[in-house]
Structure 1
């Protein structure tokens, strides 16, 4: 494992990844890495017509996330500066497998593996998940115009894809602890005690991680 904490938060659209990452970054004084979303010029068109705009959308995300993580590795992790991120680049395949046609998916996979083969993995993952009803409410509340055309069926399937992805990630990387948080039960934005409960669980893993790396 790396010698410095690198925590990534994952989960479907609208579950609260950035909100939690921001609060945890403030609490622990870790550098905050936020993914580029609204800056993607293809995203609005993607939600209107997935088949037509999926490849452009996924390639934009892949290239930007690669650049962000490359900067994080050299400017923070290699300098022993802890990082908390509201995503990890490995989740790109969740969306690509769901949205790309076979011929374009094959091309995307080749590019993805070339770019990410030496990218740093997080040494702790927080997985936020919630019911479709909760996700739709939160998307509506935050009011991003580009997200107003998200189809509930797409969001429901995406949530299932995330469950599969996290199970596979856990099997592939048993050394990386995964903290699973039910967004229907925990509202860390409204209730400070819910945030405290999450922090307490993270503290247990951070303490164990620190002791392991001291030995």
Structure 2
């Protein structure tokens, strides 16, 4: 049975998730859901001292993303409004596994399972990956104060974690198409031809009938 589109755009910090989500939403006339980032009061402290502030940071993100997922279900999907989001809540476990101490991760995992057990899943994922040079250039370009102290080692580990997670995601969710995009090669912000290529690719999946517009 065809499903109403719920597209999640994912990838490591700085890869351009929000910019791409906005362009997809505008092109297909979908509802846009943007991640709450800079409102997190712990994020700046987290990048200064990951070990000290990781649990507070991840719990804030989890609660806010859970609330946004409820909004997707009640305000959009139930009213037959397609959605594109610049994240999905499954990303929380990527970050939590990397940053939390073992005892904190056990607690966090239990809370995560309770909050997300009945939440809507995306029926298409767009995964954008890129090398460190590209990520740091785009982080520099958007100039967020809270990201000023991101360390290369952390960002590389995170990128590697994303690769591992997405490989596993495709194995465990064969019913959810994943569009992989090379952010080093495709600059959908600067070059219209790159954006057109992506929009055409997304449109071809929508037209297959697995999801409906």
With the shorter chain as reference, the TM-score category is: over 0.9
8 Å contact kept, 1:2–1:123: no
The equivalences for 1:75-154 within 5 A come to 75-154=75-154
1:143 is displaced (CA, Å) by: 0.5
Moved over 4 A (4+): none
Query: Does the alignment pair 1:69 with 2:60?
Result: no
8 Å contact kept, 2:2–2:209: no
Q: 1:9 maps to which residue?
A: 9
CA distance in 2: counterparts of 1:197 and 1:2, whole angstroms:
24
Q: 2:165 maps to which residue?
A: 165
Secondary structure at the residue paired with 1:37? coil
1:3 is displaced (CA, Å) by: 2.4
Please tell me the root mean square deviation across aligned C-alpha atoms, in Å. 1.3
Query: Does the alignment pair 1:180 with 2:185?
Result: no
State the Cα deviation string for residues 188-209 of structure 1 (Å, max 9, x = none): 1111010000011111100013
CA distance in 1: counterparts of 2:57 and 2:107, whole angstroms:
14
More RCO (CA 8 Å, sep 6+) = 2
Per the normalisation by structure 2, the TM-score is 0.97
Number of residue pairs the alignment of both structures matches? 213
8 Å contact kept, 1:3–1:80: no
CA distance in 1: counterparts of 2:184 and 2:90, whole angstroms:
25
Per the normalisation by structure 1, the TM-score is 0.97
Secondary structure at the residue paired with 2:209? helix
CA distance in 1: counterparts of 2:124 and 2:60, whole angstroms:
26
CA distance in 2: counterparts of 1:181 and 1:57, whole angstroms:
28
CA distance in 2: counterparts of 1:52 and 1:111, whole angstroms:
20
8 Å contact kept, 1:8–1:88: yes
1:43 is displaced (CA, Å) by: 0.1
Secondary structure at the residue paired with 2:125? strand
CA distance in 1: counterparts of 2:179 and 2:37, whole angstroms:
24
Q: 1:205 maps to which residue?
A: 205
8 Å contact kept, 1:34–1:86: yes
Task: Structure 1 unaligned segments of length 5 or more: list them.
Answer: none
Task: Structure 2 unaligned segments of length 5 or more: list them.
Answer: none
CA distance in 1: counterparts of 2:37 and 2:141, whole angstroms:
17
